């Protein structure tokens, strides 16, 4: 029987690539649930092609258009944020692909875990905001959280078969983004379109900006802390511009395992959907004759201070990563709309981190409150 996939965030970069994997493997996967925030046209097109059981359009103003477009199908149409949680709690799917961008993905993921559903996690912010609570829930429900991020998928794959062998450290690789080697006097003039031009990966707008500021790598460090039950000092970042080695694990005997491949998100997506199997595909293959040099260097945290702020948040813990994430989402949103400069992103985040009260062991409700307070304060800085 095919595995029924619920794609939360089906119109985003991860969601659309996941549907390509499903389309190429109709005997193995089916799209059972598709959700979108505002892109009703693409959601309608996806529903007509894949014939899911359920679609959710979060923007309630778009509900009637989606409903009318799918009137002659058997697709059930829901709308609103509460519908995301309700649908995540249904028993009509086998695995959730958590691809909603940002903090908005947290509640549906928790609901799916409550429902005993395995998670293919592409939303790193879920673990950045409340990783302790999310992973504890997964442990209680005895369901796997399978990472989709290429770096965390690499670590996950390196750990298969290692059982109880002790990890000395993990090494997350970073491409360095489009501004590798640049200094602040260059970055001060960076515009939106330039920052969106990632050299190796095809990604959505928000994650592309996070990659350009190196915040993405900081968020990945925090995510890895919870995914793999590590201490902050066990997590290292190295810049690897070719993006061929996706990450590495060093064990206590000094041996290092690396996972390699061309930079193509469909590979970790397919791996997560099919886990524990590996299934064939027609993706391009890496050719050692074409790429003869792999290089590595330390990240420049003095220039790209977002990574430094994220590392501080990783070590401080508590609600600090939640504040970091909320301020970053607001600042990136503003930058994408040309309301602040590239370097202003860091300033907004830093000022918000200094403003919001620290809570060492937050409850889920306190995480929600922290997120709201941080967003409001960050937004107030941008309006000034």
Name the band, by pLDDT with cuts 50, 70 and 90, for residue 331.
very high
Q: pLDDT value at position 285?
A: 94
- Does a structural domain hold residue 302? no
Report the C-alpha gap between 342 and 189 in whole angstroms: 8
C-beta of residue 135 within 8 angstroms of C-beta of residue 227: yes
Residue 120 tokens read as 């293919």
Provide mean pLDDT across the span 210-235: 97
Judge whether 211 lies within some domain: no
Asked whether residue 336 is assigned to any structural domain, the reply reads: no
**20-65, pLDDT tens digit by residue?**
999 999 999 999 999 999 999 999 999 999 999 999 999 999 999 9
At residue 102, the pLDDT reads 82
What's the mean pLDDT in 374-384? 90
4 is written with which tokens?
């029924």
pLDDT, tens digit, for every residue of 61-119?
999 999 999 999 999 999 999 999 999 999 999 999 999 988 889 999 999 999 999 99
How far, rounded to the nearest angstrom, does the alpha carbon of residue 9 sit from its chain's CA centroid?
A: 11
Q: State the Cα–Cα distance between residues 227 and 45, nearest whole angstrom.
A: 34
Domain range enclosing 81: 3-147
- What is the reported pLDDT for 146? 98
Q: What is the DSSP letter of 165?
A: P
pLDDT of residue 1: 77
341-343-347 Cα angle (round to 5): 105
42 contact partners, CB below 8 Å, separation of at least 6: 11, 16, 36
Structure tokens at 285: 């293959």
The pLDDT score that the predictor gives to residue 323 is 98
325: preceding bond cis by omega (within 30 degrees): no
Tell whether the model's pLDDT for residue 335 goes beyond 90. yes
With CA atoms as reference, report the closest residue to 122 among 90, 94, 151: 151
Number of domains in the chain: 1
Rounded-to-integer distance, Cα 297 and Cα 327, Å: 28
Residue 109 belongs to a domain: yes
Structural domain contains residue 249: no
pTM higher than 0.85: yes
Is the residue at 377 inside a domain? no
pLDDT band at 202 (very low <50, low <70, confident <90, very high): low
Cα separation, 263 vs 106, whole angstroms: 27
Looking at residue 201, what is its pLDDT? 64
Give residue-wise pLDDT tens across range 295-309. 999 999 999 999 999
Q: Rounded mean pLDDT of the chain?
A: 95
Three-state SS sequence of 280-342: CCCCCCCCCCCCCCCCCECCCCCCCHHHHHHHHHHHHCCCHHHHHHHHHHHHHHHHHCCCCCC
Q: What is the pLDDT of residue 166?
A: 97
Candidates 285, 282, 278, 269; CA nearest to 22 is: 269
Closest listed residue to residue 121, CA positions, set 132, 139, 135: 135
pLDDT of residue 104: 86
Query: What value, to the nearest 5°, has the Cα angle with vertex 312 and ends 309 and 315?
Result: 150
The CA distance from 197 to 200, in Å, is 9
Overall average pLDDT of the 234-249 stretch: 97
**% residues pLDDT > 90 (the chain):** 92
pLDDT value, residue 239: 97
Q: What is residue 74's predicted lDDT score, i.e. its pLDDT? A: 97
186 assigned to some structural domain:
no
Identify the pLDDT of residue 359.
98
Q: Indicate whether 173 pLDDT > 60.
A: yes
Q: What is the CATH number of the domain that holds 56?
A: 3.40.50.720
Q: Which DSSP letter does residue 13 get? A: H
- 222 SS3 class: helix
As a whole number, mean pLDDT of residues 360-364 equals 97
Q: How far apart are CA 305 and CA 213, in angstroms?
A: 8
Q: Which two tokens stand for residue 97?
A: 């692909």
Residue 281: pLDDT band (50, 70, 90) is very high
Percent of the chain scoring above 70 in pLDDT: 98
Distance CA 162, CA 160 (A): 6
The DSSP symbol for 117 reads -
The C-alpha atoms of residue 150 and residue 118 are separated, in whole angstroms, by 18
* 83: in domain: yes
For 137-190, list the strands marked E by DSSP: 145-147, 167-174
Given a cut of 60, whether residue 384 has pLDDT beyond it is: no
């Amino acid at each position: 029987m095919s595995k029924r996939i619920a794609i939360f965030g089906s119109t985003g970069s991860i969601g659309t690539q996941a549907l390509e994997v499903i389309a190429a493997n109709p005997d193995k996967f089916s799209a059972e649930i598709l959700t979108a925030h505002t892109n009703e046209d693409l959601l309608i097109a996806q529903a007509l092609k894949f014939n899911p059981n359920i679609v959710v359009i979060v923007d309630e103003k778009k509900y009637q258009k989606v409903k009318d477009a799918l009137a002659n199908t058997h697709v059930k149409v829901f709308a609103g944020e509460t519908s995301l949680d309700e649908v995540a709690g249904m028993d009509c799917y086998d695995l959730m692909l958590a691809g909603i961008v940002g903090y908005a993905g947290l509640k549906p993921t928790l609901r799916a875990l409550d429902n005993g559903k395995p998670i293919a996690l592409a939303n790193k912010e879920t673990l950045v905001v409340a990783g302790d609570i999310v992973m504890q829930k997964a442990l209680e429900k005895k369901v796997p959280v399978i990472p989709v991020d290429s770096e965390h998928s690499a670590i996950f794959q390196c750990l298969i078969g290692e059982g109880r062998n002790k990890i000395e450290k993990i090494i997350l690789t970073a491409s360095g983004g489009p501004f590798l080697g640049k200094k602040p006097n260059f970055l001060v003039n960076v515009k939106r379109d330039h920052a969106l031009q990632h050299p190796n990966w095809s990604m959505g707008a928000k994650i592309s900006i996070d990659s350009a500021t190196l915040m993405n790598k900081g968020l990945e460090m925090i995510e890895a802390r919870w995914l793999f039950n590590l201490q902050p000092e066990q997590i290292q970042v190295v810049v690897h511009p070719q993006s061929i080695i996706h990450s590495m694990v060093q064990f206590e005997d000094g041996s290092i395992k690396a996972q390699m491949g061309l930079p193509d998100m469909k590979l970790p997506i397919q791996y997560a959907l099919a886990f524990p199997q590996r299934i064939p595909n027609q993706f391009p293959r890496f050719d050692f004759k074409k790429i003869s040099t792999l290089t590595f260097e330390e990240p420049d945290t003095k220039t790209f201070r977002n990574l430094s702020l994220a590392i501080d948040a990783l070590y401080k813990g508590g609600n600090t990563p939640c504040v970091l994430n909320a301020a970053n989402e607001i600042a990136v949103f503003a930058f994408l709309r040309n309301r602040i400069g590239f370097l202003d992103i860091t300033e907004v985040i830093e000022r918000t981190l200094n403003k919001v009260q620290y809570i060492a062991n937050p409850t889920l409700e306190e995480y929600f409150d922290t997120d709201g307070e941080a967003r409001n304060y960050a937004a107030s800085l941008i309006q000034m």
